Amino acid sequence: MSQKVVATNRKAKHEYFLLDTYEAGIVLKGSEIKSIRAGQISLAQAYVSINDHEAWLMNAHIAPYNEANRFNHEPLRPRKLLLHASEIRKLYDRVRQKGATIVPLKVYLKGGLAKVEIALARGKKHYDKRAEIATRDAQRELDRHYKQRR
């Protein structure tokens, strides 16, 4: 099955250590899926919350669909995620630990359905981010040096 990536959370890999990833379906209204297919979704402030044995995608902004008129959706409404009960239990147990959270990484279309890739993550400290930037810059310098020597 082909996947068309609609939106990515580029800050997630910079802000968090990603521990486990999961694929979840999203419960959407008609105007929301049309807006997602048009690429009108933002995951910049989004996170996943677990309440009453259900996973919810919070603060994901799906722009209103122009042709929907008065039947349009609320852009920031919570959206239920479709996961197995065992996965939700595992995520809930891990989130209760200090420093763990669940972040959405990307939204994509798979077989005509909207899916979200979520990750169990632990926040990075400021010095972790600096060390990552330093290693990336050093690798870039090495690549540049070897490219010039060829």
| DSSP 8-state symbol, 11 | T
Distance between CA atoms of residues 34 and 68, nearest Å: 9
| DSSP 8-state symbol, 71 | G
Structure tokens that stand for 83 in this block = 């996961």
pLDDT in tens for each of the 150 residues of the chain?
678 888 898 888 888 888 889 999 999 888 888 888 888 898 988 999 999 899 999 998 988 887 777 777 777 889 999 999 999 999 998 888 777 889 999 999 998 899 999 999 888 777 777 888 888 888 898 888 888 877
Q: Tell me how far CA of residue 134 lies from CA of 18, 73, 121, in angstroms.
A: 19, 44, 22
Fold of the 3-124 domain: Small Protein B; Chain: A; (2.40.280)
Give pTM, 2 decimals: 0.79
